Amino acid sequence: MVDDLIKRRYPEDLGEIRPRQTLDTGTPPVRQISARHPLKWLAAGWRDIWRAPASLLHGLFVTVVGLAILWYTWDQPWLAMAAISGFLLVGPALAVGVNELARRLEHGGRQGLGIGQCLAAIPALGGSLWLFAVLLAGLFIVWAGFMTLWIGVMNVGDLGVPANLGELLGAMLGSARGILSLIGVVVAGGVLALVAFAVGVVTVPAMLDRRVGVVDAIAISLKAFARNRVPMLVWAALITALFGLSVLTALIALIVVFPWLGFAMWHGYRDVVVADEGAEAG
């Protein structure tokens, strides 16, 4: 009996031993890049906007949806704050249309790059895209629940019942406990955003380019992040800064910023993940 147990755990033929599954298992190689590369992605993405101006319609749609959500939740300040910050969490899934335009531009398809091509990516990816969207939505729900609980517990009796988002922020900034709770929200949101970023930094481009499922695409994304932590953190900081600019303009700047980041995301994918026909190892 003991001998049988040993044979099952340590087979005589070493070829029967299966290697441990890692991020390298079944994923393409990735390049190691410098911290300056995200700026190159932005430069390339800016050029792509004007090669495919239909992408601005995509940005306009996302902006209108964002404004509608903000208007609807303005007198529900907890939800409004969660919705604004949650844009960063669900952004990768929303960028699928711009990523598809970038893919078509790369293959020389300069003609007919309209909103129809943006929408074509949704049925093409099918369940994989929806599963990814559900994952990001789940992260958003966790974030919204935590933020509401944290601010409520930290400010019990201090905030009263704020009438809108502006009043909530004013009340929080008016007390030491409110400021502490706001710092906690920022720190916790940063951690969760970093998790979402690592999961989705190149997931949608990988699904579009390689027609892989969501699990394989997330594995590629995690590998790209793990091999290029500093450049990816720079990229995350640039995304956050541009989104912050959009918030300061009442989301109007998002009309341009959203497609700009979507195109840059595709260039980042191409820069980091080696194509199937590439000879470089990662």
Give the model's pLDDT for residue 270.
Answer: 95
User: How far is the CA of 244 from the CAs of 47, 57, 166, 239, 247, in angstroms?
Assistant: 22, 21, 16, 8, 5
The total of other beta-carbon atoms located within 10 Å of residue 224's CB is 28
pTM, full prediction = 0.79
Q: Cα separation of 270 and 30, whole Å? A: 10
Helices (H), 74-175: 77-94, 96-106, 115-125, 127-154, 165-173
Q: Cα separation of 34 and 41, whole Å? A: 12
Q: Coil, strand or helix: which one is 20?
A: coil
DSSP letter (8 states) at residue 59:
H
Give the model's pLDDT for residue 281.
Answer: 38
Q: Are 202 and 265 in contact (CB under 8 A)?
A: yes
Q: Which residues pair with 76 in a beta bridge?
A: none
Give the model's pLDDT for residue 144.
Answer: 75
**Which single residue is written with the structure tokens 């190691």?**
32
Q: Cα separation of 254 and 262, whole Å? A: 11
Q: Are 266 and 205 in contact (CB under 8 A)?
A: yes
**Which single residue is written with the structure tokens 């990988």?**
206
Dihedral pair phi/psi, residue 273, rounded to 5°: -90, 125
Give the model's pLDDT for residue 268.
Answer: 96
Q: Coil, strand or helix: which one is 30?
A: strand
**Residue 2: exposed, middle, or buried by beta-carbon count in 10 A (0-12, 13-18, 19+)?**
exposed
Give the model's pLDDT for residue 72.
Answer: 82
Q: Cα separation of 190 and 171, whole Å? A: 22
Which amino acid is it at 134?
V
Give the model's pLDDT for residue 279.
Answer: 38
Q: Name the stretches of the chain with pLDDT < 50.
A: 2, 5-6, 17, 156, 163, 278-282
Integer Rg of the chain from CA: 22
Give the model's pLDDT for residue 175.
Answer: 67
Q: Which residues pair with 273 in a beta bridge?
A: 30
Residues making up the chain, counted from first to last: 282
pLDDT tens figures, 55-109: 999 899 999 988 988 888 777 766 777 777 777 778 888 888 899 899 888 887 6
Q: Cα separation of 61 and 253, whole Å? A: 12
**Which single residue is written with the structure tokens 């019942």?**
161
Which amino acid is it at 84?
I
